[in-house]
């Protein structure tokens, strides 16, 4: 059974999530503190998606996210944010989270996000070419790695999925809606700025000069275009 870590110190919210994860066919691994969550992840290397609350009794959810990312680029990470804290979303994404869900959330919304992350990890590689080579970039779709001029570029799952979409559509302007529905799934109802935040991060990793991007160019009022 697919395992999902739920880190949340409020027991009623945690048990609400656990019940709904089980109903959706996932095994829930629970943690009430940041340190406990990191221990559980070490004990269960087969957990591929983690849901992280931000306000916790010990280290906060952003720090947990950073520590997970320090040695695991492929973990799907969803932050639980409070409605009033708009900045949490951006901070979460900048520390390496893939997605966020705002409290109060519906069980269907949360499981849709988890399903989308698991689908990306499972990634249907049978229909894709194994190696995508464009300009200085080589993407290996089997092991989800990217090299630029022979040097490995470490990408999160979301960044990888966006770049793969670009590399499969060279020279084509993709709208932010296209990117959102392709990468996050059609049922995703999040905001378009999540696309921009991820593009910004991706540019930092792959562009020669982020102030003058040449691989991912902006199509004003529409979206982005790939060329390498």
CB of 4 to Ca ion, least distance (A): 18
State in angstroms the smallest separation of the CB of 37 from Ca ion: 12
What contacts 19, CB < 8 A, 6 or more positions away? none
Residues touching Ca ion: how many (CB under 5 A)? Answer: 3
Please identify which residue in 35, 55, 168, 173 interacts with Ca ion, judged by CB under 5 A: 55
Token digits of residue 88: 């949490």
Q: How near is the Cβ of 100 to Ca ion at its closest, in Å? A: 14
Provide the token pair at 84: 């009033």
14 or 176: CB nearest Ca ion: 14
Smallest gap from residue 115 Cβ to Ca ion (A) = 24
| Residue 9 binds to Ca ion (criterion: CB under 5 A) | yes
Burial 12-29 (b: 16+ CB within 10 A, else e): ebbebbbebbeebebebb
53 binds Ca ion (CB under 5 A): yes
Q: At what angle do helices 176-184 and 157-168 cross, to 10 degrees?
A: 120
Nearer to Ca ion, 8 or 99 (CB): 8
Quick check: 60 binds Ca ion (CB under 5 A)? no
For position 30 contacting Ca ion by CB under 5 A, the verdict is no
Residues that bind Ca ion (CB under 5 A): 9, 53, 55
């Amino acid at each position: 059974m697919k395992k999902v870590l739920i880190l949340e110190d409020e027991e009623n919210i945690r048990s609400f999530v656990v019940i709904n994860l089980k109903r959706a066919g996932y095994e829930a691994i629970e943690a009430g503190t940041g340190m406990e969550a990191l221990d559980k992840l070490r004990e269960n290397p087969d957990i591929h998606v983690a849901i992280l609350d931000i306000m916790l009794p010990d280290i906060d959810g952003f720090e947990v996210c950073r520590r997970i990312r320090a040695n695991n680029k492929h973990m799907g990470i969803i932050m639980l944010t409070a409605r009033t804290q708009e900045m949490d979303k951006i901070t979460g994404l900048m520390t390496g989270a893939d997605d966020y869900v705002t409290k109060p959330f519906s069980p269907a919304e949360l499981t849709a996000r988890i399903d989308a992350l698991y689908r990306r990890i499972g990634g249907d590689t049978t229909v894709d070419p194994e190696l995508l080579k464009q300009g200085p970039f080589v993407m290996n779709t089997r092991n989800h790695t990217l090299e630029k001029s022979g040097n490995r570029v470490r990408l999160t799952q979301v960044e990888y999925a966006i770049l793969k979409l670009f590399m499969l559509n060279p020279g084509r302007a993709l709208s932010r809606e296209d990117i959102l529905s392709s990468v996050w799934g059609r049922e995703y109802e999040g905001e378009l700025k999540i696309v921009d935040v991820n593009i910004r991060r991706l540019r930092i990793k792959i562009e020669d000069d982020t102030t003058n991007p040449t691989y991912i160019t902006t199509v004003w009022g529409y979206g982005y275009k790939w060329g390498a």
